[in-house]
Amino acid sequence: MSCPLKFEEPLKIDRSFVSALTDGAKPTALVRSIVDLAAALDVDTIAEGVELKEQVEILKGLGCRIAQGFYFGEPRPARELDSMLQHGATIPERMLGTRFRRTGMTGSRSIAGALLRPTSRVHLA
């Protein structure tokens, strides 16, 4: 029997869950459940509101591979980001080793193309 629902959009992990990750086992179990559900549905998960390196490490350990948040950079207008990159702006050290997917971006972007637009996310490799 096939499922009549088609899941094409990623499951988002709300920032309130992400911020609670450092508080103990229950928030971690909840996020793990969301990641496992997404895997069962064959869709990605996106952790929103990542602000700490510790959150990044926990999310990676739970199998979440896409995140967005101020940890990766503050949002900037697209024209400002383009200008910064043309004038030799560098990616912050904490971003090294991170893959980016930038598709269909409009409006605000972060310094590394990481945040605040639904189609602009950081892959936690």
Residue 125 pLDDT greater than 50, yes or no: yes
Orientation angle between helical segments 25-41 and 53-62, nearest 10 degrees: 50
The pLDDT of residue 73 is 76
Residue 109: inside a domain, yes or no?
yes
**Number of domain units in the chain:** 1
In a domain, 4, yes or no: no
Mean pLDDT confidence for 90-105:
48
Residues 8-54: tens digit of each pLDDT: 788 999 999 999 999 988 999 999 999 999 999 999 999 999 999 99
Averaged pLDDT for residues 78-106: 58
Tell me the one-letter amino acid at 30. L
> Is 111 part of a structural domain of the chain?
yes
3 domain-assigned: no
Arithmetic mean of pLDDT, 82-110: 53
Domain contains 5: no
Nearest 5°: CA angle at 109, between 122 and 19? 55
Residue 102's pLDDT is: 41
Has residue 1 been placed in a domain?
no
**Does residue 6 form part of some domain?**
no
Q: Print the domain residue range for 111.
A: 11-123
Amino acid at 43: V
Q: How many CB atoms lie within 10 A of CB 118?
A: 12
Alpha-carbon dihedral sign for residues 85, 59, 61, 53: positive
Residue 119 pLDDT exceeds 80: no
Q: Per residue in 26-38, pLDDT tens?
A: 999 999 999 999 9
What CATH number is associated with residue 91? 3.20.20.450
In a domain, residue 63? The reply is yes
Average pLDDT score, the chain: 74
CB 72 within 8 A of CB 38: no
By C-alpha distance, which of 82, 86, 18 is closest to 113?
Answer: 82
Q: Which residues pair with 66 in a beta bridge?
A: 46, 123
